């Protein structure tokens, strides 16, 4: 996740208070459905794309989400 301005190739989702979420349309097609949630430790992103690294033995997060270290959360 990063701050960015929308481009023609992006899908834009508008939320309350002027908050916008921007995601590349091609990535969204591959990753759908995508869920972004804010917890007390930061953002958690859950999608159909496998996420490797960290302490996950299978190489993907079955519970969804990765911390800022890139390791799987909830495993």
pLDDT value at position 40?
93
DSSP code at position 53 = -
Tokens 């590349």 belong to which residue? 24
State pLDDT tens for residues 35-68. 988 899 998 888 988 876 554 444 444 444 444 4
C-beta atoms surrounding 20 within 10 Å: 12
pLDDT value at position 59?
41
pLDDT value at position 53?
57
The model's pTM: 0.57
């Amino acid at each position: 996740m990063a701050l960015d301005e929308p481009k023609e190739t992006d899908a834009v989702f508008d939320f309350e208070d002027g908050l916008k979420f921007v995601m590349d349309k091609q990535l969204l097609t591959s990753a759908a459905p995508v869920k972004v949630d804010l917890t007390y430790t930061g953002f958690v992103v859950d999608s159909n794309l496998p996420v490797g690294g960290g302490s996950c033995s299978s190489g993907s997060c079955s519970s969804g989400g990765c911390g800022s270290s890139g390791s799987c959360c909830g495993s």
